[in-house]
Amino acid sequence: MNLGPILRSLLHNKTRLILISFEVALTLAIVVNCLNLLFEMRGKMLRPTGIDEKNIIVATVLPFGPEYRDDKFIERVRTDDLAAMRALPGVKAACASGQIPLSGGGSSTGLKVEGSTDQVGAPYFSVTEQAVETLGVEIAAGRNLVPEDFVTKPTVEGKPSQYNVLMTQALADRLYPAGDALGKTLGGGERFTIVGIIRQMHNSWPDSENVERAMLIASPPGSARRIRYLVRAEPGMREEVAGRLEADLLRLQAGRIVKVQTMEEIKADSYLENTVLIKIFSAVSVLLLAVTSLGIVGVTSFSVTERTRQIGTRRALGATRRQILEHFLVEAGMIAAFGVAVGTGIAYGLNFALVSLADAPRLGMPLLSGGMILLGAASLLAALGPALRACRVPPVVATRTV
């Protein structure tokens, strides 16, 4: 195949070249940046959270009766509720937790290792027994929390109280880079002893960079304002258990409101903005590809119409249909290649703007190459229709209108 004449005829009509390649370039830049943002968000939503999100149910109990002002009463209610929920068919485990993973709101405390001035934020969960079983997290080292850990320790005047805790590998590694966290005690006013390490678990703030840092404190939660339970159902039993929790808990004790949500609903709420943005970026990419493809169809058709007589002449002089088809496809390929080359520059420029203005991730080479192939294929596909029309021009056209 001889590329020279094709290139020369292309340069003969620079407007078309410039228009389409600019459109292809901009489209490439926008689409790869959209996909870049989209993939990052999708990645965030799909990453493992360490907990059994599919089977966990969250029951929030909001008391309003005056009897809940008494801490002893709350403790008794909590114990009764948990016993009842654990006895339900289809329930694997249940615990109370002051904080809810992935919910977007929680509690955090500053931890300092003895002899260090470096304060590390430690998102925590104050939990009852069975927390590890309910969350479905895995103990990587040390031991699980045992009933003795929950025996309230008397606060001696001037002597800080002490709790046994589990913490995630990520938090332990941040506090003790040497990897000797297990068994250590740390903290100022309240002291925490690390009795076990959790392999992986997300805390309450999915947006946070340090989402893998979490700590389970053996300290049963609950106040006159709110008690929260986590219930882990057997696979396939979630809907059934969730459906009866409100009525069951209210039958057990009145004077309160019970709100039941699944962990998946809570997660979807936290990631709502992400979900919407993913939809926006997908829609923009698809619409843009459609607009650009239509543009290429339009401009190529126009160029075919304009050159009908030339095509006839070439055919009369012995060019095969195949050669005519090739001519237009190669032309489209060249325009696309040119556009993609310019587009790479624009894509990086746009990415730079998005990184600095909107905190976007950097653009990677694999995604850009993928975008180039996508745009190239779309250009060729768009040019195919008009090119097929061109190759059906009969040689006789050359003689007819002269």
Partner 1 sequence: MFAYQLRLAWKSLRRNPGLSILSVVGIGLGIGVATTFVTTYYMLSGNPIPQKSDKLFYVQLDSWSPERSYDRDHPDLPPDQVTYRDMAEIMKSKIPTHAGGMFKADLTVHPAGDGQKPFRQLVRMCFADFFPMFDVPFQFGSGWDARADAGPEAVIVLDDEINRKLFGGENSVGRTLLIEDREFRIVGVLAPWKPLPKFYDVTNDPFDAPEGIFMPFNFVRPMEINTAGNTSNWGDGSGDGFEGFLQSETVWIQMWAQLEDEEQVQTYRAFLDAYVNEQKKLGRFPRPINNRLSPVMTMLKDQGAAPEEAVGVLIIAILFLVVCSVNLIGVLLGKFLARAPEVGVRRALGASRRWVFVQHLVECELIAVLGAVLGLGLAALGLELLNRMFEAQFAFRLDLPMVGAGVLLALVSGLVAGIYPAYRICRIAPAMYLKTQ
CB closer to partner 1 out of 2 and 15: 15
Whole-number Cα distances in Å, 396 to 317, 326, 385: 11, 20, 22
> Scanning residues 171 to 200, which ones bind partner 1 (CB under 8 A)?
none
CB closer to partner 1 out of 151 and 357: 357
Query: How many angstroms separate the CA atoms of 142 and 129, rounded?
Result: 17
Two tokens at 332? 């489209």
Query: How many angstroms separate the CA atoms of 281 and 283, rounded?
Result: 5
Shortest Cβ 347–partner 1 spacing (Å): 11
Shortest Cβ 266–partner 1 spacing (Å): 14
CB closer to partner 1 out of 268 and 341: 268
CB closer to partner 1 out of 66 and 345: 66
- Residue by residue, DSSP assigns 291-353 as HHHHHHHHHHHHHHHHTHHHHHHHHHTT--HHHHHHHHHHHHHHHHHHHHHHHHHHHHHHHHH
Shortest Cβ 69–partner 1 spacing (Å): 10
Asked whether position 286 contacts partner 1 by CB under 8 A, the answer is: no
CB closer to partner 1 out of 350 and 368: 350
Provide the phi-psi class of 50: left if phi over 0, else alpha when psi is between -120 and 50, else beta: left
Strand, coil or helix: 290:
helix
Shortest Cβ 66–partner 1 spacing (Å): 7
Which of 316, 336, 330, 318 shows the shortest CA–CA distance to 376?
336
Query: How many angstroms separate the CA atoms of 115 and 339, rounded?
Result: 60
In DSSP terms, which residues pair with 217 in a beta bridge? 126, 165
With contacts defined by CB under 8 A, how many residues of the chain interact with partner 1?
46
Binding characters for partner 1, 256-275, by CB under 8 A (x = yes)? -x--------------xx-x
> Scanning residues 316 to 355, which ones bind partner 1 (CB under 8 A)?
350, 353-354
Give the residue carrying structure tokens 């959270």.
Answer: 49
Asked whether position 299 contacts partner 1 by CB under 8 A, the answer is: yes
Binding site for partner 1 (CB under 8 A): 15-16, 19-20, 22-23, 26-27, 29-30, 33-34, 37, 62, 64, 66, 225, 257, 272-273, 275-277, 279-281, 284, 287-288, 291-292, 294-295, 298-299, 301-302, 305-306, 350, 353-354, 357-360
